[in-house]
Amino acid sequence: MGTFTPLEALDLTAVAAAFGLPPIRNALPLWAGTINSNFRVETDDAVYFLRVNEGKREDEVAYEAAVVAHLAAAGVPTPRPVAAGDRPFARTGGRLLTLFPWVAGEHRQGAALDPAGAAAVGAALARIHRAPPFPERRDSRYSFTNILTRFQSVEEYMPPEERAELAAALAALAGRAPLPSGIIHGDLFPDNVLFAGDRLAALLDFEQASDGAFAYDLAVTLLAFTFDDDFVAARARALVGGYVAERPLLSVERAGLWDEARFAAVRFTVTRLTDVEHNPAASAELRRAKDYRRFLARLRRLDELGPDGLARLIV
């Protein structure tokens, strides 16, 4: 939804040299994302996706690049980062850069995503969860404690009814039982999936990858792809069906999915409150695109469904 590093601030000659590319002959800012600056860059030989990692430490950029390379090697449909010498990222002009081969495709959501496409999303997510263990363990930046702290930082500004709803949900979710875990995507939304024709072409943006519960990752994806004004049952069943065809859910995961979905709804409600709604730097366009009420609506619907209702929805 914005670019924080303007194109003219980049030394494209230095970028090309860092990644061992021929001269970059064209570059175009991409108006997407809320954290990083992204560009489409072209050489005479190929097209690439260039990310300027804004406000991150080198170890965070290195971790994400290593996770992506690990998952790509395990068969997850995601482009491997281009090496800069012996590292999967570069530092030029004081900025940390990652570069990926450009993947042609389109994003699909709402009515544009048919059940077959939803099943493909579920199957691709399961391949992440089936990948061999990644050697480095890293907790999510969006842990329960983090979300609770964020909520407490904005609750005084919230309408009383909404504040009470989120406070009650957080209190109920505080004692969630641990579930099978490993590397998760953490943010598999329609803008992080590309389709080419009837084929899922790529999963993108592993910036929020971390250790986490697989059921939570499935819940995030379910909320992101199968809820319009309400859950679309055919799409929800297809997505979960595609997932379990690749990785069957354990009974404890099925039992815990409602709580994980409620936490996912709370997490995105709260982060949109802190990062967008109550962020004076956020534009009106960004506030419209990332309206926290959309995930509050998901939480309310989950509460109406209850665990049994959600279980019937996805079977």
CB-based contacts of 256: which residues, under 8 Å, 6+ apart?
176, 177, 179, 213, 215
Confidence of residue 32 (pLDDT cuts 50, 70, 90): low
pLDDT digits (tens, 9 = 90+) for 185-199: 999 999 999 999 999
* Arch. (CATH architecture) of 110-314: Alpha-Beta Complex (3.90)
Confidence of residue 9 (pLDDT cuts 50, 70, 90): confident
> What local confidence, expressed as pLDDT, does residue 245 receive?
98
> What local confidence, expressed as pLDDT, does residue 34 receive?
62
Asked whether the beta carbons of 94 and 215 are under 8 A apart, the reply is no
pLDDT digits (tens, 9 = 90+) for 76-96: 999 999 999 999 999 998 999
Q: Give percent of the chain with pLDDT exceeding 90.
A: 90
**What fold is seen in the domain 7-101?**
Phosphorylase Kinase; domain 1 (3.30.200)
pLDDT digits (tens, 9 = 90+) for 227-276: 999 999 999 999 999 999 999 999 999 999 999 999 999 999 999 999 99
Q: DSSP characters for 256-278? A: HHHHHHHHHHHHHHHHHIIIIIT
- This prediction has a pTM of 0.93
In DSSP terms, 95 is beta-bridged to 92
Report the C-alpha gap between 13 and 60 in whole angstroms.
25
pLDDT of 1 > 50? The answer is no
Q: DSSP characters for 112-171? A: GS-HHHHHHHHHHHHHHHHSPPPSS----TT-HHHHHHHHHHHGGGS-HHHHHHHHHHHH
pLDDT digits (tens, 9 = 90+) for 162-186: 999 999 999 999 989 999 999 999 9
Asked whether the beta carbons of 298 and 258 are under 8 A apart, the reply is no
214 residue type, one letter:
F
Report the C-alpha gap between 257 and 223 in whole angstroms.
12
Report the C-alpha gap between 172 and 115 in whole angstroms.
33
The residue ranking higher by pLDDT, 30 or 224, is 224
Task: Give CATH 3.30.200.20 domain extents, the chain.
Answer: 7-101
Cβ atoms within 10 Å, residue 147: 22
The residue ranking higher by pLDDT, 71 or 34, is 71
CB-based contacts of 72: which residues, under 8 Å, 6+ apart?
78, 79, 80
Asked whether the beta carbons of 211 and 284 are under 8 A apart, the reply is no
Q: Which residue has the tokens 């909320």?
A: 223
Report the C-alpha gap between 203 and 211 in whole angstroms.
18
In DSSP terms, 100 is beta-bridged to 49
> What local confidence, expressed as pLDDT, does residue 6 receive?
83
> What local confidence, expressed as pLDDT, does residue 33 receive?
58
Q: Give percent of the chain with pLDDT exceeding 70.
A: 98
Give the mean pLDDT of the chain: 94
> What local confidence, expressed as pLDDT, does residue 299 receive?
98
CB-based contacts of 63: which residues, under 8 Å, 6+ apart?
136, 138, 209
3-state secondary structure of 10: coil
Q: Which residue has the tokens 């406000």?
A: 55
Task: Give CATH 3.90.1200.10 domain extents, the chain.
Answer: 110-314
pLDDT of 150 > 50? The answer is yes
